[in-house]
Structure 1
Amino acid sequence: MAGHSKWANIQHRKGRQDAARSKLFSKLSKEITVAAKMGDPDPEKNPRLRLAVKEAKAVSVPKDVIERAISKSQAGEGDDYEEIRYEGYGPGGVAVIVEAMTDNRNRTASTVRSTFGKHGGNLGETGSVSFMFERKGEIVYPVSAGDEDTVMMAAIEAGAEDVESSAEGHIVYTADTDLAAVSAAIEEQLGEAESTKLIWKPTTTTELDLDGAQKLMRLIEVLEDDDDVQRVTANFEISDEVLEQLSA
């Protein structure tokens, strides 16, 4: 989403990417292990695992790390992990979805609830904010993949639902159940995508001023730093003016 994309750029410019990268590798490895445990260890026969491996490769997770994560699933690791979704409101009334994978539900729930409370948010019940999002597949291509018409035509032929093109690149949206098939079809025409994953796409957004943006970013940072949290999605928007102030 636009807000999260902007925040990722801010983190990158501030030099936080190294620590975040290590944390991301660990979380992607966990997803690969669980995906392989829940289905066939062969990515070609397991759509969820195939997507997890594609996402890992997109951020340059080493091949041996990916293979080791798959091997762990066959050794019994990943048996105890439970997938849980938490929903709540952050500063400024922004809707926040937290996706976690944990071997201790009580520990994770306590940590997530405490984090929301300490950073100006409130954890709600399941379903309290997810109605403001749609579950979609997201395929990201760089500007170099082609002009807007070229990418749009390739996406339509592949069975995608929508395309958003900008100076930063192209985002192709699909139905959540069609992501694997559409990504395979579109890559035949445009080549390897930068990113292929399932997302929560907001149907409505909340714009934040500088104070609200700073508080929300801190909440997201702390949540994402937790080992049990796989990803955080929020329906915020930041103006270019506020973005520049955050980047300073």
Structure 2
Amino acid sequence: MGRKSAKIAAKKGASDKAKAQVYTRALKDVFKASKNGGPDPDTNFLLKVAIERCKKFNVPKDNIDRAIKKGQGSDGVGYEDVTYEGYGPNGVAIFVETSTNNVTRTVSNVRSYFRKCGGSLGVNGSLEFIFERKAVFTIPAEGIDEDEFTLELIDAGAEDVELEDDMYEVKGPMEAFGSIQDKLQSMNITPEEAGLVRIPLTYKEVDEETLEQVEKLIDMLEADDDVVTVYDNLD
């Protein structure tokens, strides 16, 4: 769940390009959930969430099944999670999460994208004070009583429950992800999005030209098969 989330694309009638990005994003979430939690959506909550999102955007079942199998290493090659941290034009912080079966290829590609867009790849830990990881859930509000829902989720460890445009956004500390997930399951609620998200602690304001360059960099990163999620601190 990065900048270009499914929620934004759905709500704003996104362009074909944005829809294609959401389509790819949804399949990457299936892959990631399968890799980390197993191939059965009945026992893997995040996989269930990712599959439901794919269905919402009419992703073919064959594509979903392939993403699940890829997450299980069905091609005989294991994937490992690797993160990269760097700065785009004008010092915009960029955090990249990847899952790769060839780290040499991935780091070479990621470094080249930063270089082509006037940025630079840094050492891991360089963005430690710019992003914090939070448990974030996005939930359709229809049929849910706001007061009761808010109390239940805060009791489960959530720090913040906000209702905006018919969607609840629930945030909590990284450690509360499991307890919030369990509470939603007990209430028979399936989020539209769920995951551990890197949220900026500080934001960078840029001019239009810089914004275009940063968005170009993000597009290049997100188009890479090895890249799972890209975060930034654009204001």
- TM-score w.r.t. the length of structure 1 is 0.77
The one-letter amino acid of 1:19's match is: A
Worse-superposed segment, 156-165 or 146-155: 146-155
How far apart, in 2, do the equivalents of 1:143 and 1:71 lie?
33
Q: What letter is aligned with 2:52?
A: K
CA distance in 2, matches of 1:171, 1:214: 28
Alignment of structure 1 residues 39-118 onto 2, 5 Å: 41-43=39-41, 49-60=44-55, 61=59, 65-67=63-65, 69-71=67-69, 76-77=74-75, 79-118=77-116
**Deviation for aligned residue 1:233:** 0.6
Q: 1: CA distance between counterparts of 2:72 and 2:6?
A: 38
Write the deviation string for residues 112-164 of structure 1: whole angstroms up to 9, x where unpaired: 01101111211100011133111111101234354654442231122212223
The equivalent residue for 1:240 is none
Distance 1:128 1:151, change over 3 A: same
Higher helix proportion (structure 1 or 2): 1
Distance 2:48 2:76 in 1: 16
* Equivalent position of 1:35 in the other structure: 36
Task: Give the conservation status (yes or no) of the 8 Å contact 1:100–1:231.
Answer: yes
Match among 198, 201, 216 for residue 214 of structure 2? 216
Instruction: Measure, in 1, the Cα distance between the counterparts of 2:72 and 2:109.
Output: 30
Instruction: Specify the alignment match of 1:158 in structure 2.
Output: 156
Q: Is the 8 Å Cα contact of residues 52 and 192 (structure 2) preserved in structure 1?
A: no
Aligned-partner Cα distance in 2 for 1:2–1:147: 28
Structure 2: give runs of 5+ residues left out of the alignment: none
Whether the aligned pair in 2 keeps the contact of 1:154 and 1:190 (CA below 8 Å) is no
Count of residues in correspondence between the two structures = 231
Change in 2 beyond 3 A, CA 1:226/1:70: closer
Structure 1's unaligned 5+ residue stretches are 238-248
Q: Deviations over 1:14-47 (max 9, x none)?
A: 33244224423442343244225xxx554555xx
Superposition deviation, residue 204 in structure 1: 1.6
1:226 Cα deviation (Å)? 0.5
Identity across aligned pairs (percent)?
35
User: What is the CA distance between 1:89 and its match in structure 2?
Assistant: 0.9
Q: Distance in 1 between matches of 2:73 and 2:106?
A: 25
- Using the TM superposition, give the Cα deviation of residue 7 of structure 1 relative to its aligned residue in structure 2, in angstroms: 11
